[in-house]
Amino acid sequence: MDGQRERAGRAPQWWRHGPPWWTLRGDEERRPRWPWRSTALVTAFVLFGSNFAAHAQEGERAALDPFARTLLFATGAALLWRQRHPVPVVFGTAVTTLLYLGAGYPYGPVFVAVAVACFSAVVAGHRKAAWAAMGTLWAGHALVAHWLYRWLPPPGDSAAPWGQEIVIAAWVVAVAALSELARARSEQWARERAERAQAARRRADEERLRIARELHDVLAHSISVINVQAGVGLALLDTDPEQARAALGTIKEQSKEALGEVRQVLDTLRTPGDAPRAPAPGLDRLPEL
């Protein structure tokens, strides 16, 4: 148990509470930002990686042409909208990838774009849509590889082995499972943030209650002293003016002390710029008003 606590203490802060860049639904509804950098990186990886894959599969699959490069670019560029419209993006990338494979182009990193789209959709809460898109991709590939290959390029192609379909199915399940794990982790971070916010509100309420009690004690004590001294002053005003003067002096000191304590308590609550302390401008200071 102590070892687990020690390891938890050494763990980075973001692992327990979530990375600062993680965008979640929940306590803060923020409009997601455009993921320019990651989209450009994935798109470049898909384009350049497909070139190497084409050289490695030369003679087995169709060569890359402008249509193939357009499909690859569209598949990667669609990820730019994955945070704002995750469902259309995951289905769009699945369809363009299926068109790419159905046209007989080389296997390669085109699947990376589909994996990223699936990951974003699951994390955003669209689990069924992500699973449906990945299932559609697998079923479409199986249909192309075992039946439609007779009428599709490259010419003279044969049916793909079922072992390849099992590998693709395992890849689909692994991507979806990793996405589910990330979604569960993001929900845990959201719960932890909500609990911390609730604890902060509770501490603020307790602090306000303490300050209210402190102000009540200060004012009650000072007003009680002022009331007693005012009664003494009134009673001795004619018979003992000196004693009445002392009572009035006590009233003045107690009121000044009470005002000072109240001002001190309120100053601790005031943040810079909350409210002006100077008198409000009148008609003689009309421009400022």
Residue carrying structure tokens 């009572």: 247
Q: How confident is the model at residue 5 (pLDDT cuts 50, 70, 90)?
A: very low
Average pLDDT taken over every residue of the chain:
78
Distance CA 31, CA 186 (A): 17
Most confident of the ranges 28-32, 44-48, 271-275, 280-284: 44-48
CA 126 to chain centre: 16
Task: Report the pLDDT value the prediction gives residue 139, as an integer from 0 to 100.
Answer: 87
Distance CA 87, CA 136 (A): 14
Q: Compute the average pLDDT of residues 76-84.
A: 92
For 47, the 3-state DSSP assignment is: helix
Q: How confident is the model at residue 205 (pLDDT cuts 50, 70, 90)?
A: confident
Mind spelling out the 3-state secondary structure of 6-24? HHHHHCCHHHHHCCCCCCC
Task: Report the pLDDT value the prediction gives residue 13, as an integer from 0 to 100.
Answer: 47
**Token pair of 245, please?**
């003067």
Q: Are 76 and 42 in contact (CB under 8 A)?
A: yes
Instruction: Report the topology of domain 202-268.
Output: 1.20.5
**Token pair of 202, please?**
């509770």
Q: Compute the average pLDDT of residues 39-59.
A: 90
pTM over cut 0.75: no
Task: Report the pLDDT value the prediction gives residue 31, as an integer from 0 to 100.
Answer: 62
Residues 6+ apart with CB under 8 A from 281: 288, 289
Distance CA 133, CA 177 (A): 14
- Which residue stretches of the chain are H helix? 2-10, 13-17, 36-56, 66-77, 86-102, 110-123, 127-146, 162-236, 241-269
Lowest mean pLDDT among 48-57, 182-191, 261-270: 261-270
Domains in the chain: boundaries = 30-160, 202-268
Q: Is the pLDDT of residue 198 over 80?
A: yes
Q: How confident is the model at residue 18 (pLDDT cuts 50, 70, 90)?
A: very low
Length of the chain: 289
Q: Burial letters for 164-182: b for 16+ Cβ neighbours within 10 Å, e otherwise? A: ebeebbeebeebbeebbee
Task: Report the pLDDT value the prediction gives residue 12, as an integer from 0 to 100.
Answer: 47
For 145, the 3-state DSSP assignment is: helix
Q: Is the pLDDT of residue 67 over 90?
A: yes
Lowest mean pLDDT among 129-133, 186-190, 233-237, 265-269: 265-269
- pLDDT tens for each residue of 108-126: 888 899 999 998 898 888 9
- pLDDT tens for each residue of 181-192: 877 887 788 888
